[in-house]
């Protein structure tokens, strides 16, 4: 039956409950010991009293310079300031101040109040040791708490003496305030001394830099033409001025030359009368107009007179004169463009030579000016630094001695009325938490190391075998056979379920012969054999039960048979099946008892007669069920298993350990292979195993893990 509470991962709440119930004794014992330890620790621990004082630490810095805001801006500076104050509060130096203020290292009173042994002696070594112990106790028992985003720090001191705890906490607050004031005053005094040294050094540097600038100017003949003090100020020399002027003129001339050259290139590559300069020239336009007029008059005369007429000839001559003037004027315009280009080219060449001649001289002058500016910039920088330091020194001198306190006490520490530790409930809770952890470890180790087959899931998990059925244990006031006689009892229904499983266990239906074995005696294999036979017999099948345990037989106890003759007689050819079989009280079920116990059962089972006996039995009966001996250490079970069609392995719940059972199943599988049908889990007590749920049909019985009854064979003997 599927676990109704199973989770997707295969582990359910009921599995956890089962785990707890199986290990309830370990868990309860561990928690009891842990609780007792917690109570014991509480009773044996010295009471500790804590006193608290609260101080407000403003986020300020010492006012070294007036005008600076004393409040730190939020951000990195504030985030570093407050943690630094906590470090100061926890420092050895502040602990030394507290010790000196209260005189704690002068005697052993504080050490005794803190629960430590006295340090006897008055020599220097003893005093030094006592002081070290006192400082260690102060630092170890002080707690500083400063919540994030708050400026209120809580100083807590713990001591077995409540008055000592209060005095030390208050002394810490007072010593911290005095220390803060002293640090701020000392920082101001140090700043003044530092500024004085810096001003003296800077004055010397400024004077040296000014002398160097003056000497260099005289040596190079440089004159500062700009206002003194400017970073770009410097002397302007004649070569540099000439070079600047020539560079500007050269740039303008170069632009004109490029333009003229471009015009000449266009003019030389363009037909004469197509040049823009020619077309746009007024004289050219006048000549073109005259030529047009002359051509008109010639056309009229040629229409009126003959070709050789004097008027026509005169008109033609005048037209040639106009065209000649037109060509001459256009050529002159293009020549003018060329002449302009050549002139600009010559001027550029000449100017370029002058620029080149002045460049070297200007570069030398420029190098002198660079050095001059460097010296001048150093003078300006030194003067600015000197003025700034002097101004700061004046401001600092004005505020010297003004050391406003940024630390104030909010709450004074008072002696505690009750101890803060130990706390019984806290210690008990911690002890129980530890106990739960220890119990969990113990349960885990037990579950990992204990490989008993306790629940049906363990069959596939630990034995790697198929689970055929789960047989519940019989009630304490009943026996297995009494329960089997009741057709609606849990045990009876469980065996009927097992019978149904066997009917579908092979492709041809129920096996013809089944060999039943187990790991140890008394696991219920004989009862399982008898119940299977009885269940199949009720269906009208002819069933033969053979007691194959030739060492400790028990079938004759269960079925009420005579043990005088039986299977041993068949193996020794002293009888036939018809002679030794006995009719049982159950319908369709015959049985063959063991008979007289042989001296060497393995020899009897090793012969070929065993196969012939089983073949004959299979020919006469629908089902042959063989009750065999336990598997480990005996060859009998293996010999019988090889001859049977299929094998069933019986494991008693909570008894068959995975180590032995796993070895037996693996050994059996290696010999018979797939003929091992599976495992039957017997005497399963759901409550003892931790599975307290189930379901039924309203008749007082059910399936799966919900049986909750005992399993007895009081009427079947010790070996059933």
Give per-residue pLDDT as tens, 270-327: 887 777 777 788 887 887 888 888 888 878 887 887 877 888 788 888 888 888 888 8
The answer to whether the beta carbons of residues 626 and 640 sit under 8 Å apart is yes
Above 60 in pLDDT, residue 75?
no
* Cα–Cα nearest to 327, from 339, 335, 316: 335
323 vs 343: CA distance, rounded Å: 30
Task: Give the pLDDT of residue 76.
Answer: 53
Task: Give the pLDDT of residue 136.
Answer: 92
pLDDT band of 231, cuts 50, 70, 90: very low
Mean pLDDT of 194-218: 82
356 vs 364: CA distance, rounded Å: 13
Which are the contacts of 448, defined by CB distance < 8 A and separation ≥ 6? none
Quick: pLDDT tens for 380-392. 888 888 888 788 8
426 vs 419: CA distance, rounded Å: 13
1 vs 14: CA distance, rounded Å: 14
pTM for this one?
0.47
Quick: pLDDT tens for 86-112. 898 889 999 999 999 999 888 888 888
547 vs 716: CA distance, rounded Å: 14
More confident residue, 78 or 456: 456
Task: Give the pLDDT of residue 32.
Answer: 93
Q: What residues does CATH 3.40.50.300 cover in the chain? A: 451-703
Above 70 in pLDDT, residue 64?
no
* Minimum mean pLDDT range among 45-54, 152-161, 183-192, 626-635: 183-192
Task: Give the pLDDT of residue 8.
Answer: 42
* Cα–Cα nearest to 532, from 548, 561, 511: 511
Task: Give the pLDDT of residue 4.
Answer: 41
Mean pLDDT of 594-603: 89
Angle between helices 162-220 and 76-89 in degrees, nearest 10: 130
Sign of the alpha-carbon dihedral angle for 169, 175, 180, 181: positive
Mean pLDDT of 219-244: 58
535 vs 529: CA distance, rounded Å: 10
Mean pLDDT of 147-157: 87
* Minimum mean pLDDT range among 64-68, 75-79, 363-367: 64-68
* Minimum mean pLDDT range among 54-68, 127-141, 568-582: 54-68
- 574: phi then psi, degrees, rounded to nearest 5: -95, -10
66 vs 240: CA distance, rounded Å: 50
Mean pLDDT of 45-57: 89
Above 70 in pLDDT, residue 401?
no
Sign of the alpha-carbon dihedral angle for 61, 62, 68, 69: positive
Task: Give the pLDDT of residue 255.
Answer: 85
Above 50 in pLDDT, residue 702?
no
More confident residue, 720 or 651: 651
* Cα–Cα nearest to 167, from 102, 118, 100, 108: 102
Mean pLDDT of 199-206: 84
pLDDT band of 402, cuts 50, 70, 90: low
More confident residue, 36 or 245: 36
Please compute Rg for the chain using Cα positions.
60
Above 90 in pLDDT, residue 461?
no
Quick: pLDDT tens for 337-370. 888 878 878 887 887 777 777 676 666 666 777 7
> In b/e form, how buried is each residue of 48-69, taking b as 16+ CB within 10 angstroms?
bbbbbbbbebebbebbbeeeee
Mean pLDDT of 590-594: 94
pLDDT band of 712, cuts 50, 70, 90: very low
- 281: phi then psi, degrees, rounded to nearest 5: -75, 130
669 vs 517: CA distance, rounded Å: 13
Which are the contacts of 48, defined by CB distance < 8 A and separation ≥ 6? 158, 159, 160, 419, 420, 421, 422
Task: Give the pLDDT of residue 399.
Answer: 60
Angle at 610 between CA 540 and CA 570, to 5 degrees: 80
Task: Give the pLDDT of residue 616.
Answer: 93
More confident residue, 238 or 466: 466
The answer to whether the beta carbons of residues 16 and 112 sit under 8 Å apart is no
**Top-confidence range, 12-26, 561-575, 646-660, 663-677:** 561-575
Task: Give the pLDDT of residue 85.
Answer: 85
Above 90 in pLDDT, residue 614?
yes
603 vs 583: CA distance, rounded Å: 29
Which are the contacts of 612, defined by CB distance < 8 A and separation ≥ 6? none
- Phi-psi map region of 708: left, alpha, beta (phi>0 left; psi -120 to 50 alpha): left
* Cα–Cα nearest to 674, from 466, 407, 432, 366: 466
- 462: phi then psi, degrees, rounded to nearest 5: -100, -35
Token output for 138: 């102060």
Quick: pLDDT tens for 23-38. 788 899 999 999 999 8
Above 60 in pLDDT, residue 697?
no
* Inter-CA distances, 640 with 173, 418, 596, 611, 667, Å: 92, 80, 18, 9, 14
Which helix or strand (DSSP H or E) is residue 518 part of? strand 513-518
Q: What is the mean pLDDT of the chain?
A: 80
Please report, rounded to a whole number, the percentage of residues in the chain having pLDDT higher than 90: 21
Give 597's DSSP letter. P
* β 646-652/513-518 pair status: parallel
78 vs 96: CA distance, rounded Å: 27
Quick: pLDDT tens for 472-499. 988 887 776 777 777 778 888 888 898 8
Sign of the alpha-carbon dihedral angle for 634, 638, 640, 646: positive
Task: Give the pLDDT of residue 170.
Answer: 92
Quick: pLDDT tens for 520-554. 888 888 989 999 999 999 899 999 999 999 989 98
Task: Give the pLDDT of residue 71.
Answer: 47
* Cα–Cα nearest to 134, from 170, 107, 158, 166: 107
Q: What is the CATH number of domain 451-703?
A: 3.40.50.300
């Amino acid at each position: 039956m599927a676990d109704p509470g199973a989770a997707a991962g295969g582990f359910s709440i009921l599995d956890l409950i089962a785990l707890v119930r199986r290990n309830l004794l370990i868990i309860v014992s561990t928690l009891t010991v842990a609780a007792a330890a917690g109570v014991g620790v509480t009773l044996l621990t010295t009471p500790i009293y804590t006193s608290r004082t609260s101080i407000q630490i403003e986020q300020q810095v010492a006012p070294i310079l007036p005008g600076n805001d004393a409040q730190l801006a939020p951000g990195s500076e504030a985030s570093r300031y407050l943690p630094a104050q906590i470090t100061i509060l926890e420092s050895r130096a502040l602990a030394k101040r507290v010790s000196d203020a209260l005189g704690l290292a002068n005697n052993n009173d504080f050490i005794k109040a803190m629960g430590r042994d006295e340090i006897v002696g008055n020599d220097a070594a003893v005093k030094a040791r006592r002081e070290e112990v006192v400082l260690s106790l102060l630092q170890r028992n002080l707690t500083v708490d400063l919540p994030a985003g708050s400026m209120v720090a809580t100083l807590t001191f713990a001591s077995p003496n409540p008055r000592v705890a209060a005095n030390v906490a208050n002394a810490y607050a007072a010593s911290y305030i005095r220390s803060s004031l002293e640090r701020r005053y000392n920082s101001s005094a140090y700043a003044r001394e530092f500024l004085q040294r810096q001003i003296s050094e800077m004055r010397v540097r400024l004077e040296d830099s000014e002398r160097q600038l003056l000497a260099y100017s005289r040596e190079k003949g440089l004159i500062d033409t700009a206002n003194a003090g400017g970073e770009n100020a410097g002397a302007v020399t004649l070569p540099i001025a000439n070079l600047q002027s020539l560079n500007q003129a050269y740039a303008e001339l170069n632009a004109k030359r490029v333009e003229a050259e471009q015009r000449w290139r266009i003019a030389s590559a363009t037909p004469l009368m197509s040049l823009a300069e020619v077309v746009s020239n007024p004289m050219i336009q006048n000549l073109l107009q005259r030529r047009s007029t002359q051509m008109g008059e010639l056309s009229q005369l040629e229409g009126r007179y003959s070709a050789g007429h004097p008027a026509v000839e005169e008109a033609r001559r005048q037209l040639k004169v106009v065209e000649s003037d037109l060509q001459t004027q256009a050529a002159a315009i293009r020549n003018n463009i060329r002449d302009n280009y050549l002139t600009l080219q010559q001027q550029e060449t000449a100017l370029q030579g002058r620029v080149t001649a002045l460049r070297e001289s200007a570069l030398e002058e420029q190098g002198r000016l660079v050095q001059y500016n460097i010296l001048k910039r150093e003078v300006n920088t030194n003067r600015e630094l000197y003025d700034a330091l002097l101004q700061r020194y004046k401001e600092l001198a004005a505020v010297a001695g003004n050391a406003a306190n940024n630390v104030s006490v909010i709450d004074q520490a008072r002696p505690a009325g009750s101890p803060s530790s130990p706390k019984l409930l806290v210690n008990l809770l911690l002890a129980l938490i530890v106990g739960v952890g220890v119990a969990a470890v113990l349960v885990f180790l037990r579950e990992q190391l204990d490989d008993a087959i306790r629940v049906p899931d363990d069959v596939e998990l630990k034995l790697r075998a198929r689970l055929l059925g789960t047989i519940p244990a019989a009630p304490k006031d009943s026996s297995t056979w009494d329960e089997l006689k009741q057709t609606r009892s849990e045990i009876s229904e469980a065996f009927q379920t097992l019978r149904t499983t066997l009917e579908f266990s092979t492709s041809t239906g129920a096996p013809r012969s089944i060999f039943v074995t187990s790991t140890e005696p008394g696991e219920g294999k004989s009862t399982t054999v008898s119940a299977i036979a009885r269940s199949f017999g009720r269906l009208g099948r002819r069933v033969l039960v053979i007691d194959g345990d030739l060492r400790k037989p028990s079938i004759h106890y269960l079925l009420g048979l005579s043990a005088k003759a039986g299977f041993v007689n068949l193996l020794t050819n002293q009888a036939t099946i018809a002679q030794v079989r006995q009719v049982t009280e159950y319908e369709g079920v015959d049985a063959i008892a063991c008979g007289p116990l042989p001296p060497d059962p393995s020899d009897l089972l090793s012969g070929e007669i065993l196969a012939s006996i089983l073949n004959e039995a299979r020919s006469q009966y629908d089902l042959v069920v063989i009750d065999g001996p336990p598997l480990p250490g005996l060859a009998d079970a293996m010999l019988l298993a090889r001859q049977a069609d299929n094998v069933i392995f019986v494991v008693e719940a909570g008894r068959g350990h995975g180590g032995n059972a796993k070895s037996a199943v693996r050994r059996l599988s290696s010999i018979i292979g797939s003929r091992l049908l599976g495992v039957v889990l017997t005497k399963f007590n759901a409550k003892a195993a931790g599975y307290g749920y189930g379901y039924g049909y309203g008749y007082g019985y059910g399936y799966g893990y919900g049986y909750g009854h005992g399993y007895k064979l009081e009427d079947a003997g010790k070996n059933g």
